[in-house]
Structure 1
Amino acid sequence: MTPARIVIINDSTNATGGATSLALKSAQLLSDAGHQVTFVTGDEGSRDNLPDTVDVAALGGKSLLDLPMRQRIPKGLYNLQASRFVSRVISELDSPDVVYHLHGWAQTLSPSILAPLRKVQDRLVIHAHDFFHACPNGTYFNFQTESVCHLKPLSSQCLRTNCDKRSASQKAFRTVRMLIKNQILDMGNTRALVAVIHPFMTDWMARAGIDDAQVRVVRNPVQPFRTDRVKAEANSDLFFIGRLEPEKGAELAAQAARSAGRRLRVIGEGSERKRLEAQYPECVWEGWRSHAEIAQLIVHARGLIMPSRLPEPFGLVSLEAIHSGVPLIAFADSFVAREAADLGCAFVASERRPEALAAAVRALDEDHVVERASKVAFTQARDLSNSPEQWRDQLLSLYGELLISSHAAYSRQPVPPKQELGWTD
């Protein structure tokens, strides 16, 4: 079945993160394919990244970090204004053939929007771009011990553990927020579909009680940096592409490159740049670059290091590089790296240490090894992601599944006796 309208809901219209970029991309792809699309956003509703054919409904709010301190906790836990706003949008647009797709909610909209969405959950897709629907800190990673977390979310041990990257109070805030979210919409007992971006996420979501029967795998769309193969075997430089924040592991990449005797070129910006630039002057600090600019730089890559300190469900840049013929170096708990290693185009470090990462880098010392990995990456790794068109069609398939199920459930509802409706003969 084809939806009469697709309502996409996201914190923001500013493409500063992966989830928002994908929400905006879906709006464009679906609208270009002739579907009626409304983009519901918590911010001012910029049209810079949306076509004119997409309707925009904007709350006009600010992200939590842009609010005065006294407003952050109440608005972050339950933004009443956002709930009323989404409720009003639903009341104006809803019909039996309208579907809803929730992307990001944690920065502006808050769990409060799940209250009105609960009423249309049989036509709702909840997109899990990360683990925030399962784990209070969103990562299944203990930032204090620098280790992957295997606790059951919201268990007594989880509640007692300070795992947050900022503070124990931040963990407490995120825990309360998750308890509120679960109270509003229990994802272990919902008719909504939960879209995960990688099949390995399914078990991690189940650990939080999310029903496997409602989970659907929709791999992210990837546009390779290049359409011709990067001849990695002829190159010597390693690349890191990403935000220069502690969790992305740029320092681990710099340490590993130094140990392995390879030059590292760093593409990205962030709070760590100034310190890392001073500490690792042998690296080339390229700053932020557009996709087209990276395409010109990546031709000099022997490998891409993705040393995230936390389990990486997808890693967009890794696949943009792999599909261009650039082998990947990453930790073994990276979902994409595990699959790419099985194919033969990734080299994994079993431990989250610079020495282990350096050993994986040294596996690229032989040109024939790199050439083989590069060719496998370029020709055999396409199934690790979707093309934009494949991704759009998979989203439409989810919407059709919801509509079929919703209409079937409606048709099975008993018709009340005439007298209860006030009918007369």
Structure 2
Amino acid sequence: MHVVLVADHAFINGGQAKVAIDSALGLAGRGHRVTLFAAVGPPDPRLEAAGIRVVCLNQPDISTARSKLAFAVQAIWNREAARRLSEELGRVDPRETIVHVHAFAKALSPSIGIALRESGLPLLYTMHEFFLVCPNGGFYEYPAARICHRTPMSRDCLTTNCDARSYPRKLLRVVRHLGLETVARLPDLFRHVVTISDLQERAAAPHLPRETVFHRIANPISVPDAPASPKAGGAFLFVGRISTEKGAPIFAEAARRAGIRPVFLGDGDQAAELAARYPEATMLGWHDAAAVQARLRAARALIFPSVWYEGQPLTVYEALACGTAVIVSDACAGREAVEDGETGFWFRSGDADALAAHLRRLADDELADRMGRAAHDRYWAAPLTLDAHLDRLATVYDAVMREAAAARLARGAAPRGRAVAPA
């Protein structure tokens, strides 16, 4: 099998790119031919070492663009990405190739849809966020700090400022989404869509064609197995971006009401304000992956108070794998990993008093130990390893390619090199 992975970044800068690159390395390790097509470099050196062909356009993203205006044009419609992807897909054998898109919204743009459609190749899209159906990618109103239930691209949507920065930036995203829907027609193009949580599928499905086929493939979690640690003296720990949508202020306030000291591992736009308002809080900044896992193993509980949907919050699964209970907001996808009352607690999203009540409960060492052991045992009964991810991926690839092969037979054999586009 030849797998062409499409992503914004050729290096790990977050969860999306990590999943794409880890799966690329894993697929190559299983003997598949792998190509990674990306806009932003430099490429992860492990890719070339694994024999993976990397096509990197060396374009900027928003963090590296010298001209914000030029990048806005690129983000709306990246002509170079469409041209180069078309060239790349024109060289492959359609009988053995599948194209798996992981990301497009941060650099590649919806323009890649033109190349994908023209190729006629079997396609799969992993929905790491909601950009396929929502202009701001999150079903979330940043200024109002609440989940958005509006119909994307409706009048109500268009007149609402939901962007984290400004309404003009929202309008740029609306223009991009208009191109996504009417020119690239991405929602119609991706018949097969991978989701990473039940909540994500429920939120996206009403805005996609009825014919869309959903596949559940959990993201892999990289945590070594080790016995659960005793929780006496462990911290109530927040890990991640310290921001409003992640619920950091709710944790800080709940901790004060519960009379415990909150510990924050990470950074973000709310960090300085929270440190000033809650001097009892411990701010540890960012740590590398090994140090984060060490902190999780020693923690009494992970607090995950996110007030938006999330996709599949990896930190929640990492905590469970480390043998640590999780207190999670009931509005986010993280709750799907937590058995309420067994491996942690759910609390009403945005309710500091409800969270404070669970913090007081888990101040009990015996309960924290019991929940930690249960979290560890239940996670490791069916761990989200890279091998499990690749096994599921292979099953889905096989189904998508078989469907494409049947379609080719129905319309006549396609020539080698470029497939005949479906009617």
Worse-matched range after superposition: 366-375 or 386-395:
366-375
> 8 Å contact 2:140–2:148 — kept in the other structure?
yes
Return the alpha-carbon distance in structure 2 between the equivalents of residues 320 and 284 of structure 1: 21
Residues 125, 190 of structure 2: 8 Å contact kept: no
Deviations 1:353-409 (A, max 9, x none): 333322232231333332332222111235786211010111122211121111111
Which amino acid in 1 is paired with 2:124?
Answer: V
AA matched with 2:11: N
CA shift for structure 1 position 137: 1.3
Question: 1:201 is matched with which residue?
Answer: 200
Counterpart check, 1:9 vs 2:6: yes
What amino acid does structure 2 have at the position aligned with 1:127?
Answer: T
| Cα distance in 2, alignment partners of residues 23 and 339 from structure 1 | 22
Q: Of 377, 388, 391, which residue of structure 1 is paired with 2:389?
A: 391
> How do 1:317-336 and structure 2 match up within 5 A?
317-336=315-334
Worse-superposed segment, 9-18 or 295-304: 295-304
Q: CA deviation at 1:42?
A: 0.3
Amino acid in the other structure paired with 1:149: C
| Cα pair distance change 1:183/1:380, threshold 3 Å | same
* DSSP-derived class of the 2:100 partner: strand
**Residues 193-342 of structure 1: pairs in structure 2 closer than 5 A:** 193-211=192-210, 213-224=212-223, 226-232=225-231, 234-342=232-340
**The residue matched to 2:338 in structure 1 has which SS?**
helix
Q: Contact between 1:223 and 1:387, CA under 8 Å: does it hold in 2?
A: yes
User: Following the alignment from structure 2 to structure 1, what is the Cα–Cα distance between the partners of residues 25 and 136?
Assistant: 31
Deviates more, 1:378-387 or 1:280-289: 378-387
1:353 and 2:351 aligned: yes
Query: Which residue does 1:50 correspond to in 2?
Result: 47
Alignment correspondent of 1:368: 366
What displacement does 1:247 show? 2.5
| Counterparts in 2 of 1:224 and 1:211: CA distance versus 1, 3 Å | farther
Q: Secondary structure at the match of 1:248?
A: coil
RMSD between superposed Cα atoms in Å: 2.3
| Inter-partner Cα distance in structure 2 for 1:414 and 1:58 | 34
> Is this contact kept in 1: 2:247–2:350, CA < 8 A?
no
Amino acid at match of 2:22: K
Partner in structure 2 of residue 102 of structure 1: 101
Contact 1:337/1:348 (<8 A) preserved: yes
The alpha-carbon deviation at position 242 of structure 1 amounts to 0.6
- TM-score, normalization: structure 2? 0.90
- Alpha-carbon deviations, 1:238-259, whole Å to 9, x = none? 1111123333232322222222
Q: Deviations over 1:124-173 (max 9, x none)?
A: 11110011111111111222322222222222222222222222112211
Q: Distance in 2 between matches of 1:108 and 1:94?
A: 27
Offset of 1:300 from its aligned partner? 2.5
SS at 2:116 equivalent: helix
C-alpha separation in 2, matches of 1:226 and 1:270: 30
User: Residue 421 of structure 2 aligns with which residue?
Assistant: none
Give the 3 Å change call, closer, same or farther, for CA 343–113 of structure 1 in structure 2: farther
Q: Counterpart of 2:43 in 1: which secondary structure? A: coil
Gaps of 5+ in 2: 415-423
C-alpha deviation, 1:44, in angstroms:
3.0
- Does the 8 A contact of 1:187 with 1:211 survive in 2? no
Please tell me whether the aligned partners of residues 12 and 44 of structure 2 are also in contact (alpha carbons under 8 angstroms): no
Tell me which residue corresponds to 2:36: 39
Q: Which runs of 5+ in 1 are unaligned?
A: 417-425
Q: CA deviation at 1:275?
A: 3.4
| Aligned length, in residue pairs | 412
Runs of 4+ aligned residues of structure 1 deviating over 6 Å after TM superposition are none
The amino acid across from 2:33 in the alignment is Q
1:381 counterpart letter in structure 2: Y
Worse overlay, 354-363 or 200-209: 354-363
* d(CA) in 1 for partners of 2:61, 2:384: 31
- Taking structure 1 as reference, are residues 284 and 87 closer, same or farther at Cα in structure 2, changes over 3 Å only? same
Q: Which amino acid aligns with 2:392?
A: Q
